[in-house]
Amino acid sequence: MPQLAAAFGRFHDLGIVEYSLNATLRKLGVRDRREVKLIEKEWAKRFFSDEYQKFDIPLPGAKAYVNRVHEAGATVIYLTGRDLGRMFVGAAQSLRTYGFPVGIVGTMMLVKRQFEQSDEVFKTDVAAYLRRLGRVAAVFENEPANSNLLKSAFPEAASFFVLTQHRPDAPPLDEGILRIRDFRVR
Protein backbone atom coordinates (compact mmCIF):
# COMPACT_ATOMS: atom_id res chain seq x y z
CA MET A 1 0.00 0.00 0.00
CA PRO A 2 2.57 2.57 -1.07
CA GLN A 3 0.02 5.35 -1.75
CA LEU A 4 -1.34 4.97 1.76
CA ALA A 5 2.08 5.08 3.41
CA ALA A 6 3.02 8.17 1.41
CA ALA A 7 -0.27 9.87 2.26
CA PHE A 8 0.10 9.36 5.99
CA GLY A 9 3.67 10.61 5.78
CA ARG A 10 2.15 13.96 4.73
CA PHE A 11 -0.57 13.86 7.38
CA HIS A 12 0.84 16.33 9.88
CA ASP A 13 -1.75 19.10 9.63
CA LEU A 14 -5.35 18.52 10.75
CA GLY A 15 -6.35 21.32 8.39
CA ILE A 16 -6.18 18.74 5.61
CA VAL A 17 -9.14 16.84 7.10
CA GLU A 18 -12.34 17.37 5.11
CA TYR A 19 -15.91 16.61 6.16
CA SER A 20 -15.92 13.36 4.22
CA LEU A 21 -13.32 10.63 4.50
CA ASN A 22 -13.20 10.23 0.71
CA ALA A 23 -12.44 13.92 0.17
CA THR A 24 -9.64 13.72 2.74
CA LEU A 25 -8.18 10.63 1.09
CA ARG A 26 -8.27 12.32 -2.32
CA LYS A 27 -6.46 15.31 -0.84
CA LEU A 28 -3.82 12.94 0.51
CA GLY A 29 -3.43 11.29 -2.89
CA VAL A 30 -4.96 7.92 -1.94
CA ARG A 31 -6.77 6.70 -5.03
CA ASP A 32 -6.30 2.93 -5.10
CA ARG A 33 -9.79 1.42 -4.67
CA ARG A 34 -8.53 -1.41 -2.43
CA GLU A 35 -6.77 1.04 -0.12
CA VAL A 36 -9.82 3.29 0.01
CA LYS A 37 -12.12 0.34 0.85
CA LEU A 38 -9.77 -0.88 3.58
CA ILE A 39 -9.53 2.59 5.12
CA GLU A 40 -13.31 3.09 4.95
CA LYS A 41 -13.90 -0.23 6.71
CA GLU A 42 -11.42 0.49 9.50
CA TRP A 43 -12.57 4.11 9.84
CA ALA A 44 -16.24 3.10 10.19
CA LYS A 45 -15.38 0.63 12.98
CA ARG A 46 -13.54 3.24 14.98
CA PHE A 47 -14.79 6.73 14.17
CA PHE A 48 -18.32 6.16 15.44
CA SER A 49 -17.18 4.70 18.75
CA ASP A 50 -16.62 5.68 22.37
CA GLU A 51 -12.90 5.25 21.81
CA TYR A 52 -12.66 8.02 19.21
CA GLN A 53 -14.62 10.66 21.13
CA LYS A 54 -11.41 11.68 22.90
CA PHE A 55 -10.16 13.08 19.60
CA ASP A 56 -13.08 15.50 19.40
CA ILE A 57 -11.21 18.54 20.69
CA PRO A 58 -13.22 21.49 22.08
CA LEU A 59 -13.18 24.81 20.30
CA PRO A 60 -11.17 27.60 21.93
CA GLY A 61 -13.13 29.23 24.75
CA ALA A 62 -15.86 26.56 24.83
CA LYS A 63 -14.95 25.17 28.25
CA ALA A 64 -14.86 28.61 29.88
CA TYR A 65 -18.12 29.65 28.20
CA VAL A 66 -20.05 26.52 29.18
CA ASN A 67 -18.74 26.65 32.75
CA ARG A 68 -19.78 30.32 33.07
CA VAL A 69 -23.27 29.51 31.78
CA HIS A 70 -23.57 26.59 34.21
CA GLU A 71 -22.25 28.61 37.17
CA ALA A 72 -24.79 31.34 36.36
CA GLY A 73 -27.55 28.79 37.01
CA ALA A 74 -28.55 27.77 33.49
CA THR A 75 -29.10 24.12 32.67
CA VAL A 76 -26.52 23.06 30.10
CA ILE A 77 -27.90 20.55 27.62
CA TYR A 78 -25.52 18.78 25.29
CA LEU A 79 -27.69 17.81 22.31
CA THR A 80 -25.62 15.61 20.04
CA GLY A 81 -26.13 13.35 17.07
CA ARG A 82 -24.00 10.71 18.78
CA ASP A 83 -25.83 7.54 19.74
CA LEU A 84 -26.36 5.74 23.04
CA GLY A 85 -24.91 2.37 22.10
CA ARG A 86 -21.63 3.44 20.55
CA MET A 87 -20.76 6.98 21.60
CA PHE A 88 -22.49 8.10 24.80
CA VAL A 89 -19.82 6.94 27.24
CA GLY A 90 -16.97 8.33 25.16
CA ALA A 91 -18.72 11.66 24.68
CA ALA A 92 -19.35 12.01 28.43
CA GLN A 93 -15.74 11.06 29.22
CA SER A 94 -14.43 13.53 26.67
CA LEU A 95 -16.52 16.37 28.11
CA ARG A 96 -15.31 15.48 31.61
CA THR A 97 -11.67 15.15 30.51
CA TYR A 98 -11.75 18.59 28.91
CA GLY A 99 -13.30 20.18 32.01
CA PHE A 100 -16.91 20.67 30.96
CA PRO A 101 -19.70 20.25 33.51
CA VAL A 102 -21.31 16.88 32.78
CA GLY A 103 -23.25 14.33 34.79
CA ILE A 104 -23.99 16.80 37.57
CA VAL A 105 -27.03 18.84 38.61
CA GLY A 106 -27.78 21.43 35.97
CA THR A 107 -26.48 19.38 33.05
CA MET A 108 -27.97 16.90 30.65
CA MET A 109 -26.64 15.04 27.62
CA LEU A 110 -29.18 13.92 25.04
CA VAL A 111 -28.15 11.39 22.40
CA LYS A 112 -29.90 9.31 19.76
CA ARG A 113 -31.16 5.86 20.82
CA GLN A 114 -30.13 4.35 17.49
CA PHE A 115 -27.15 5.24 15.31
CA GLU A 116 -29.30 4.93 12.17
CA GLN A 117 -31.74 7.69 13.18
CA SER A 118 -31.07 10.89 11.26
CA ASP A 119 -29.82 13.83 13.29
CA GLU A 120 -32.61 16.03 11.90
CA VAL A 121 -35.38 13.65 13.02
CA PHE A 122 -33.73 13.23 16.42
CA LYS A 123 -33.34 16.97 16.98
CA THR A 124 -36.91 17.64 15.83
CA ASP A 125 -38.20 15.11 18.36
CA VAL A 126 -36.00 16.51 21.13
CA ALA A 127 -37.16 20.09 20.47
CA ALA A 128 -40.64 19.25 21.77
CA TYR A 129 -39.12 17.76 24.93
CA LEU A 130 -36.90 20.80 25.49
CA ARG A 131 -39.89 23.16 25.22
CA ARG A 132 -41.48 21.31 28.17
CA LEU A 133 -38.37 21.89 30.29
CA GLY A 134 -38.55 25.66 30.08
CA ARG A 135 -37.13 28.59 28.16
CA VAL A 136 -34.26 27.86 25.80
CA ALA A 137 -31.79 30.76 25.96
CA ALA A 138 -29.33 29.78 23.23
CA VAL A 139 -28.62 27.03 20.72
CA PHE A 140 -25.33 26.15 19.03
CA GLU A 141 -25.06 23.89 15.98
CA ASN A 142 -22.52 23.09 13.27
CA GLU A 143 -24.90 21.64 10.67
CA PRO A 144 -26.90 24.25 8.73
CA ALA A 145 -30.05 22.08 8.47
CA ASN A 146 -30.03 21.48 12.23
CA SER A 147 -29.27 25.13 12.92
CA ASN A 148 -32.30 26.15 10.85
CA LEU A 149 -34.42 23.53 12.63
CA LEU A 150 -33.41 24.78 16.09
CA LYS A 151 -33.92 28.44 15.10
CA SER A 152 -37.43 27.56 13.97
CA ALA A 153 -38.16 25.50 17.10
CA PHE A 154 -36.82 28.20 19.46
CA PRO A 155 -37.26 31.57 17.73
CA GLU A 156 -36.80 33.45 21.03
CA ALA A 157 -33.39 31.85 21.68
CA ALA A 158 -30.08 33.24 20.49
CA SER A 159 -29.11 30.96 17.63
CA PHE A 160 -25.47 30.33 16.71
CA PHE A 161 -23.96 28.45 13.79
CA VAL A 162 -20.48 27.18 14.64
CA LEU A 163 -18.17 27.50 11.64
CA THR A 164 -16.58 24.07 11.66
CA GLN A 165 -17.07 21.19 9.25
CA HIS A 166 -20.51 20.35 7.95
CA ARG A 167 -22.15 18.45 5.13
CA PRO A 168 -21.10 19.82 1.75
CA ASP A 169 -24.69 19.66 0.42
CA ALA A 170 -26.11 21.65 3.36
CA PRO A 171 -28.89 24.19 2.86
CA PRO A 172 -28.21 27.90 3.38
CA LEU A 173 -28.62 29.26 6.90
CA ASP A 174 -31.87 31.01 7.75
CA GLU A 175 -31.85 34.68 8.68
CA GLY A 176 -31.14 35.58 12.28
CA ILE A 177 -28.59 32.86 12.92
CA LEU A 178 -25.26 34.25 14.09
CA ARG A 179 -22.01 32.70 12.88
CA ILE A 180 -19.14 32.05 15.28
CA ARG A 181 -15.73 30.40 14.85
CA ASP A 182 -15.17 29.63 18.53
CA PHE A 183 -16.23 30.72 22.02
CA ARG A 184 -13.46 33.18 22.84
CA VAL A 185 -14.59 36.58 24.07
CA ARG A 186 -13.10 39.26 21.87
Q: How high is the pLDDT of residue 2?
A: 53
Domain span at residue 170? 55-180
Q: How high is the pLDDT of residue 3?
A: 53
Q: Could you give the number of structural domains in the chain?
A: 2
- Residue ranges of the chain whose pLDDT lies below 50: none
Local structure of 83: helix, strand or coil: strand
Q: How high is the pLDDT of residue 12?
A: 56
Asked if 40 and 86 sit in the same domain, the reply is no
Evaluate whether residue 142 is within a structural domain: yes
* This prediction's pTM: 0.83
Asked if 60 and 112 sit in the same domain, the reply is yes
C-alpha dihedral, 65 to 178 to 143 to 33, nearest 10°:
-100
Total Cβ atoms within 10 A of residue 28: 20
* Angstrom distance (rounded) from CA 7 to CA 26: 10
Contact indicator for 156, 139 with CB cutoff of 8 Å: no
Evaluate whether residue 96 is within a structural domain: yes
Q: What is the pLDDT of residues 1-31, one digit of tens each?
A: 555 555 555 555 667 777 778 888 888 888 8
